[in-house]
Structure 1
Amino acid sequence: MNPNRAAVEEAARFFREHDRFLVLSHVNPDGDATGSALGVVLMLEQLGKEYVVVNEGETPLKFDFLPRFDRLRNLRKQPLTEMFEAVIAVDCADESRMGDVRPLFASGAAVLNIDHHPTNDMFGTVNLVRPEAAATAEILFEVAEEAGIAFNEELALCIYTGLLTDTGGFRYSNTTPRVMEIAARLLTYGVKPGEVAERCLEEITFAHVKILRRALQTLQLSHQNLVASICVSVDDFAEAEAKREDAGGLVNYCRNIEGVEVGVSFVESEPGIVKVSMRARDRVDVSAVAKQLGGGGHAKASGCTVKGTIAEAKQKVWDVLEPALGVKHDE
């Protein structure tokens, strides 16, 4: 018996009770955010509902193999004036992660918040938040079942992509028997796991290689070699002719160094704005660190956005990380 059955039923009812929806995920969307948002779109189509699916900014082209990818609207380039009575937000750890979308919400809009981050601030009028779930896609699978949605290859592909990416290719500690059961079932609908893994986990752009080459020159060990950090500046992006998405995954090079407890990447996406990503082993809950800086996420994978220079962002992170780790930066 699903202990969250009542919440799942309420979410399924939300899909049925409204007619036109705004669907969104978090800024700088990953595979779970994109797969879940497009999974919601496919569910709404089956139910005969209308929708507009948006994100504040670009969605990485590595996910353009997903069905309805071409429907994703970049609000920075394609602003909307319509206001919506019903909103479905997926994989947003808190309201700020939705981006600047509040002007699209009608007064008193009903918001369904489907998420798995423990730092979620319950911003919805209906909240289906399960921190024990490996991915938002795992929760969406249960909503689809409850709503009587017929699974097919397209829907299975979206949900599988969310599971695959948020479990690191089924390698992270959040890979549970339930995750594998769902993944196995999705494969029966024609999902090709090798092709999905190639697009989401293996294939990289040449611009990523150029950014990586520059970033590795900044790699530093600190806090008694328990922390490894890496930096990418606006100038690095310009000289490498790279986009923000080309810097994805750099933090893993830091965290994977033997003996390192916390890996941190500082990516200056635009002057004065630094995206901080953190990955941890066992000693530190980086979601608590990120939350103090206005971000959020999971105990072993979190992030935040800090205003200022990279040097200033580093100091702000160290000020919070040092007491959590119990070691000062210069020790």
Structure 2
Amino acid sequence: MTAGMPSFPAYADQLGQALAYMREGEHFLIVSHVQPDGDAISSTLVTAWLLAKLGKTFVMMNESSVPLRLGYLKGSSHIQSMNEVAAEVRFDRVIAVDCADYKRIGLVSERFAPGCGLLNIDHHPTNDHFGTVNLIRSDAAATVEILYDLIEFAGIPLDVEAGTAVYTGLLTDTGGFRYSSTSPRVMQIASAILTLGVSGHLLAEHLLEKMTKAQLLLLQRGLANLTFSTDNRIAWITVGHADLEATGATSEDLEGLVNYARNVEGVDVGMLFKEAADGCVKVSLRSSGAANVSAIAQSFGGGGHVRAAGCRLDLPMQEAVNQVIQAVSEALQG
């Protein structure tokens, strides 16, 4: 094991099994979760990079499109939508990255061959080990951190292309290296990547500072209905589908909005309720650590981390708000 890499035996075994799975196959499907974020897209591309280094071929596919702000990542334009791959094509070797459970793969799972092999690489504590081979490290800050370990384990030198993707996944999933998941190992990896010549400051400016006009208009609307519980320990923002249409924003522009509720002094749990086009409500939850929002999200069929989680409710907005607020209140009182 390389210096700095987690050294517990079970993890070394998982790395070995994952690498063997990649070496044994010739052609792979790589998929991440629906509505992919920075870690999901970066993990997809890093996995593809590693497969290419191993002399393998692959298809990258996602039910959702790649966020525009991640278009700078080399290879991102090659992540295909389902209608770009012939409907009859089935894959017998699959790699799923950053998917907390099987359903997060979405409709792409329809392209899996019956009895296919499935390598599941993920960092969510709620992951249910749905793969035939599982590489799970729930204390990793991002799935790209696990992939970095896998690359080191394979003895393959990282280059700027893969380094940029790894740095992107770490940067976005740690909130710019501000979250509690920012471990010494994360900073060690970031340092190694900067040494390669990756421009970390430019990536931070692009991913964390810049915003579109539509995003700013959406923020303006969201903050106008920021609401607090009577004890001010819970804060939430609601965004209707009409707000997206009125501002010209997309679901991508909602990213980070939940933090405005959580970052208010005295707030222990901040939430964002987003109405989708089909009428369902998607909820993002962020916690100071006073409540396990992963457990709360799981109770509604979702999942995530202790401090950051999400779920989807097929309910009208106000009913969804009421139910989740009640669950969060009970968790804080417990």
- Please tell me the TM-score bracket, short chain as reference: over 0.9
Which of 81, 84, 93 is the matching residue for 1:78? Answer: 84
Residue 5 of structure 1 corresponds to 12
Question: Deviations for 1:144-168, whole angstroms, at most 9, x for unmatched residues?
Answer: 1222333111011111111111111
1:271 to partner: Cα distance: 3.1
Asked whether the equivalents of residues 236 and 272 of structure 2 are also in contact (C-alpha less than 8 Å), the reply is: yes
Other structure's SS at 2:231 match: coil
In 2, the alpha carbon distance for the partners of 1:38 and 1:80 equals 22
Within 5 Å, give how 1:217-228 maps onto structure 2: 217-228=224-235
3-state SS of the aligned residue for 1:188?
Answer: helix
| Cα distance change on mapping 1:89 and 1:131 into 2, 3 Å | same
SS of corresponding position for 1:45: helix
Normalising to structure 1: TM-score of the pair?
0.95
1:255/1:263 contact within 8 Å kept? yes
C-alpha spacing 1:10/1:153, structure 2 compared with 1 (3 Å): same
Following superposition, which runs of at least 4 residues in structure 1 exceed 6 angstroms of deviation? none
- Counterpart residue number, 2:28: 21
Aligned to 1:31: 38
Residue 80 of structure 1 deviates from its aligned partner by 4.3
- The one of 239, 242, 245 aligned to 1:235: 242
Q: 2:273 is matched by which residue type in structure 1?
A: F
2:49 equivalent in structure 1:
42
Amino acid at match of 1:224: D
Distance 1:285 1:183 in 2: 28
What is the root-mean-square deviation of aligned Cα atoms in Å? 1.3
Distance 1:322 1:79, change over 3 A: farther
- The one of 240, 246, 249 equivalent to 2:253 is 246
Give the one of 154, 173, 179 matched to 2:180.
173
User: What are the Cα deviations for residues 285-322 of structure 1, in whole angstroms up to 9, with x where unaligned?
Assistant: 10000011111111001001111221121123124223
Query: Any idea what SS the aligned residue of 1:100 has?
Result: helix
Report matched runs for 1:127-276 at 5 Å. 127-276=134-283
Q: Distance in 1 between matches of 2:306 and 2:224?
A: 28
Aligned length: 326
| Cα distance between partner residues in 1 of 2:156 and 2:117 | 22
Q: Name the TM-score, length of structure 2 as normaliser.
A: 0.94
Shift of 1:28: 1.5
Structure 1 unmatched ranges of 5 or more: none
Which of the residues 123, 129, 133 maps onto 1:122? 129
